Amino acid sequence: MMTEASGELKSMAERELKSNIEGLKRQLNTLNTEIRKSIGEIKLHRGTVTKLREKRDELNAHVKECVKKAHVCRKDRDDANRKIADLKELRKGAQDQINQKWEQLNQVKDKRDQSNAIAKMRTTSLEKAYAHELYVFTHADIPLKHEIGAYERLKDLGKRLNASRDADKIHTELVPMYKQVKELRNAADEIHQSIQSLADESQQHHDELLSIYAELDAVRKEANQYHARLKDEYHIIDPISKSIDAHKASVTRLQEELSGHIDALKDRQKTGGAEECKVAVEKLKTTGRMSLEDLRVLMDNGAISFD
């Protein structure tokens, strides 16, 4: 079935067909050159893309490692802080016991001080003074007036001696109470030292965490920069790829067009050769002569053979 395009080709002169063929070949050469050039550009950009992607992925992997380190560091810090909170409760309990013991101790101490205030002297001194006055009162031959004075002194010394002995007894109760307070203070001090140690550990984890966050932000920012550059490269590659696709489509169309022109030229040359052969045969028959050109035409068309 003859199409409009094939009809146009058949109506073209041989010279026009050859001219069109040359023009189509030039267009194909130009397009193929552009395609090769574009492919070369894409290769260069894809090389850059590979490097950028590798660097971005490397940084993103580093970001993941930083996130893991931050998680571990934050957990260690929070664990230390929880231990500190528990120890502070223990320290508060110890301090409450110390305050309670001090309150009891001060009450007992006040009683001792009151007894000491009455005694005014040590127990041993009062015992000697009491024994002396008792001896004077019971053995010495003294006037009644002096005897009454000795009796009053004995009563006073007895009262003071009893108060001193009460103070001594109370003091023996204070000793274990002081010991308990000291033990509670030592326990509180140990708890405080543990809190300080954990606080230092917590601060160390916190400082390390801040350092990791700073590193994380810097690495993530750099990774984002490489990703942005990667997108820019793709924005450059995409139009070039589309251009190559368009050129390839044009090449296919021009090749089909060139093939049609070549077929038309072959048909034209075959038809033209038959006419020339017919003229040469008629000339040979009429004149019995032929030129070298006539001989070539006759041989090309198989009208004459020397076998």
Q: Of 169 and 53, which is predicted with more confidence? A: 53
d(CA 223, CA 245): 32
The yes-or-no verdict on residue 303 having pLDDT over 70 is no
Answer yes or no: is 5 within a domain.
Answer: no
Answer yes or no: is 302 within a domain.
Answer: no
Answer yes or no: is 298 within a domain.
Answer: no
Q: Of 281 and 30, which is predicted with more confidence? A: 30
The yes-or-no verdict on residue 222 having pLDDT over 70 is yes
The yes-or-no verdict on residue 99 having pLDDT over 70 is yes
In the numeric block, which tokens belong to residue 226? 């490489």
Low-confidence winner among 86-90, 164-168, 214-218, 282-286 (lowest mean pLDDT): 282-286
| DSSP track, 224-241 | HHHHHHHHHHHHHHHHHH
Residue 122: the pLDDT is: 86
**What domain count does the chain have?**
1
- Print burial letters for 128-162: b (CB count within 10 Å at least 16), e (below 16): ebbeebeebbeeeeeeeeeeeebeebbeebeebbe
The burial class, CB within 10 Å (0-12 / 13-18 / 19+), for 163 is buried
Round the average pLDDT of the chain to a whole number and report it: 85
Answer yes or no: is 51 within a domain.
Answer: yes
Answer yes or no: is 134 within a domain.
Answer: yes
The yes-or-no verdict on residue 4 having pLDDT over 60 is no
- Print burial letters for 216-245: b (CB count within 10 Å at least 16), e (below 16): beebbeebeebbeebeebeeebeeeeeebe
pLDDT band at 162 (very low <50, low <70, confident <90, very high): confident
By residue range, what is the domain housing residue 245?
A: 15-287
Residue 301: the pLDDT is: 61
State percent of the chain over pLDDT 70.
82
Residue 298: the pLDDT is: 64
**CATH code where residue 168 lies:** 1.10.287
Residue 132: the pLDDT is: 80
d(CA 226, CA 291): 79
Answer yes or no: is 305 within a domain.
Answer: no
State the amino acid at position 307 in one-letter form. Answer: D
Answer yes or no: is 304 within a domain.
Answer: no
Residue 2: the pLDDT is: 43
The yes-or-no verdict on residue 216 having pLDDT over 90 is yes
Helix 144-287 vs helix 292-300: crossing angle, to nearest 10: 120
Low-confidence winner among 20-29, 70-79, 89-98, 122-131 (lowest mean pLDDT): 122-131
The yes-or-no verdict on residue 39 having pLDDT over 70 is yes
The yes-or-no verdict on residue 102 having pLDDT over 50 is yes
**Residue in 177, 172, 169 with CA at minimum distance from that of residue 106:** 177
Residue 126: the pLDDT is: 82
pLDDT band at 1 (very low <50, low <70, confident <90, very high): very low
The yes-or-no verdict on residue 200 having pLDDT over 90 is yes
Residue 139: the pLDDT is: 72
Mean pLDDT of all residues in 186-209: 94
What lies within 8 Å, CB to CB, of 223 at 6+ separation is 56, 59, 60, 63
Answer yes or no: is 300 within a domain.
Answer: no
Q: Of 27 and 145, which is predicted with more confidence? A: 27
In tens, the pLDDT along 239-287 reads 999 999 999 999 999 999 989 888 887 776 666 556 566 666 676 677 7
